[in-house]
Chains A and B, each alone.
Chain A
Amino acid sequence: MMTPAWYERMNQRERILSMIVAGVVFVLVNLFIWSWLLGAISRAQADWKTRQATRAQQALYVKERDLWTKRAQWLQQHQPMLKDASEASKLLEEQLKPVAAKHKILLENPQIGTGETTPHHQTVFATFDMKSEWQPLVHFLYDIQQPEAFIVFENVNLSIDSNEPTKMRGKFKIARWFAPGQRPKE
């Protein structure tokens, strides 16, 4: 085995210096290579995991396609359409007050309004306070909210009446969620 002539020509000091320089260059080049490689692998692994999750979700969607088709059809058929601004008073007068009266619950400070519009629903709401014993309140809550009614308790504050511990005091914001003007794409 021959040592190269240019290496033979160097003295000891030059050889040490050249080895140090070569070592530093080697380390730097390798740092760059490994940094790039490990970064690329890390990004690829993250991408891979994301794609796998997406693919698994797609498989689940395909498996549950019938279920979601039925749900979409059910929503299409049952979610009410907002006809005009009187829907809020209809909610209060035709849906909330009759049920409250049935269970002898007095609605205090009733107010109505139009709520937020999202891609999924348009809202009208009624707010009121009430005071009642526990039993009638439970029946009121049960009767008001059914899936086909699309009635949502957007705010409920219930607490024991400090003056009459046998009674409950409540503040409600009850909304009806109508179909959006343009239904979400299905």
Chain B
Amino acid sequence: MFIVPTAHGWNLLRANERNGAWNVRALKNLDEAVPLLHFEDELVLGLPVAAVLAQRFRLPTVDPTEFPEMVRIQIEKALPFSADELTTDFEVIEQNETDSVVSAVAVRNDQLAELAAPLLNRGHIPRQVTVYAAQRASTHAPEVLALLIYPEGETLVSAITENGKVSLTRTLEGVQPEQLQTDLPQFALSAELQGITASFPNILLDESCYELRDTVQRILDYRPELVGTETPPASIKLNLLPESWRQRRSQLARLGEWRKRLIWAAAAYAGILLLFLVYLVFARFEIARLNRSINRETPETEFVRAAEVNWKALAPAVDARYYPVEILLHLSENLPSSAVRITAYNQSARQISVDGEADTAALAYQFADKVKKNPDLRVFQFTMADPRILPNGHAQFRLEGRPK
């Protein structure tokens, strides 16, 4: 996404996600851009010529590592501002075997902050701050010397670009032919003094200044080429993003990442909570459904339940499995051998106990085990404590049975 200066204020260019075409939205000021921006937008802000200071330097080196320091010294010499007050960047225009020509561009941090305040105040920090003239030059004249003339705000600006890099800029005094007759030759003279060839075979005139085409041709001897709004402007290296903005942008990006993670975590947490709630509602619903079924069936089953309770209460009288003679029969059937003897038998209406003596403890356990597994005695739950070993080595045991 790009925001670039225009005659009426600013243009916001955004790629259409569906067909890739670029939508151009005219804005009076940057405040109008704020509602149209999203936090995840990668914004490139193109600065007007009036906001920047462009200088062309010839540096006596071809070593790229030496450029930054040399450019910094040159800028400090050329401009009446300290390095802390400016953000600068440069691009190499051309090089020969011994020296290099660079385009250095500077912007005052306070002026930039004031200009971009509507964006910054809402947390929209551009990915790149560059110069619109450089974007236009890279689009229309990337490898030649060109003179750009186009309106920014209520004024007309001109910029000389070499190989798509801005060498010199000037805000023209007016748009009347007489004024241009004065300003353009002066601008060409300034370019000459900077070491730039003052002959401009490539003159790019904004299409909104169509009526100046003949005037410019008369002054500069070459017919201007009309250029429209770039959709999109070319990507260029020049970046005047202040370090504080860069840090703030990284910080906001990190915050954004954390916010996303938090939102995901919160959503997952809420999802789990919701699942538990849904399960609870489902369980309650099932309980209510079962309750309705139980209540519907209760009158029908109440008689059966009462009959069962009555029958079980009378079981010692009517169920032969509780009769002493039956129990004694099954107990005697389960004696492993004559080495296990029953010495006493006690029974109440609901409980039995069998005392006995076995030649060994193992036989006592064998007897208990058989009794527990006997299907005819399954109405009882048998338990046996550890047998007591008598002086003669025999095991005295007690087997107790309770109805299940």
- Same complex for A and B? Answer yes
Contact B301 A61 (CB under 8 A): yes
Complexed CA–CA distance, A64 and B404 (Å): 20
Question: How many A-B contacts if CB must be within 8 Å?
Answer: 145
> What 1/0 flags go to B313-344 for Cβ under 8 Å of A?
11011111001110010000000000000011
Measured between beta carbons, the chain A residues less than 8 angstroms from B320 are: 147
At the interface with chain B, which of A15-23, A68-76, A95-103? A68-76
Contact A138 B328 (CB under 8 A): yes
Task: For the complex formed, measure the closest distance between the CB of B334 and the CB atoms of chain A, giving whole angstroms.
Answer: 17
Contact A45 B283 (CB under 8 A): yes
Complexed CA–CA distance, A38 and B273 (Å): 10
Complexed CA–CA distance, A119 and B293 (Å): 29
Complexed CA–CA distance, A141 and B347 (Å): 13
Contact B346 A75 (CB under 8 A): no
Known: A62-B300, A155-B348. A1 touches B255 (CB 8 A): yes
Measured between beta carbons, the chain B residues less than 8 angstroms from A151 are: 317
Check A160 for interface membership: any CB of B closer than 8 A: yes
Measured between beta carbons, the chain A residues less than 8 angstroms from B306 are: 184-186
Measured between beta carbons, the chain A residues less than 8 angstroms from B297 are: 55, 58, 62
Check B276 for interface membership: any CB of A closer than 8 A: yes
Contact A48 B311 (CB under 8 A): no
Check B192 for interface membership: any CB of A closer than 8 A: no
> What 1/0 flags go to A137-152 for Cβ under 8 Å of B?
0100110010101111
Contact B304 A142 (CB under 8 A): no
Contact of B324 (CB < 8 Å), options: A37, A51, A54, A153: A153
Task: For the complex formed, measure the closest distance between the CB of A110 and the CB atoms of chain B, giving whole angstroms.
Answer: 19
At the interface with chain A, which of B230-238, B284-292, B394-402? B284-292
Known: A68-B311, A141-B325, A186-B306. A1 touches B290 (CB 8 A): no
How many residues in B have their beta carbons less than 8 Å from beta carbons of A?
52
Contact B316 A48 (CB under 8 A): no
Give the nearest-CB partner of A59 in chain B.
Answer: B297
Complexed CA–CA distance, A88 and B298 (Å): 40
Task: For the complex formed, measure the closest distance between the CB of B228 and the CB atoms of chain A, giving whole angstroms.
Answer: 35
Contact of A68 (CB < 8 Å), options: B304, B316, B317, B346: B304
Measured between beta carbons, the chain A residues less than 8 angstroms from B323 are: 141, 145, 153
Check B70 for interface membership: any CB of A closer than 8 A: no
Give the nearest-CB partner of A79 in chain B.
Answer: B314
Task: For the complex formed, measure the closest distance between the CB of B234 and the CB atoms of chain A, giving whole angstroms.
Answer: 29
Check A52 for interface membership: any CB of B closer than 8 A: yes
Task: For the complex formed, measure the closest distance between the CB of B89 and the CB atoms of chain A, giving whole angstroms.
Answer: 27
Contact A37 B348 (CB under 8 A): no
Measured between beta carbons, the chain B residues less than 8 angstroms from A25 are: none
Partner-A contacts on B (CB < 8 A): 39, 122-123, 252, 255-256, 259, 273, 276-277, 279-280, 283-284, 286-287, 290-291, 293-294, 297-298, 300-301, 303-311, 313-314, 316-320, 323-325, 328, 343-349, 355
A-B contact pairs, 28 of them (CB 8 A): A33-B273, A37-B276, A41-B276, A41-B280, A48-B287, A51-B287, A55-B294, A61-B304, A61-B305, A62-B301, A62-B304, A68-B303, A69-B303, A69-B307, A72-B310, A120-B313, A121-B314, A142-B325, A145-B325, A153-B323, A153-B324, A155-B348, A156-B346, A156-B348, A157-B345, A158-B345, A177-B317, A184-B310
10 cross-chain pairs, A with B, having the tightest CB-CB distances, nearest first: A51-B290, A44-B283, A141-B325, A61-B304, A120-B313, A159-B344, A2-B123, A156-B347, A61-B301, A68-B307
Partner-B contacts on A (CB < 8 A): 1-3, 33, 37-38, 40-41, 44-45, 47-48, 51-52, 54-55, 57-58, 61-62, 64-65, 68-69, 71-72, 75, 79, 118-121, 138, 141-142, 145, 147, 149-160, 177, 184-186
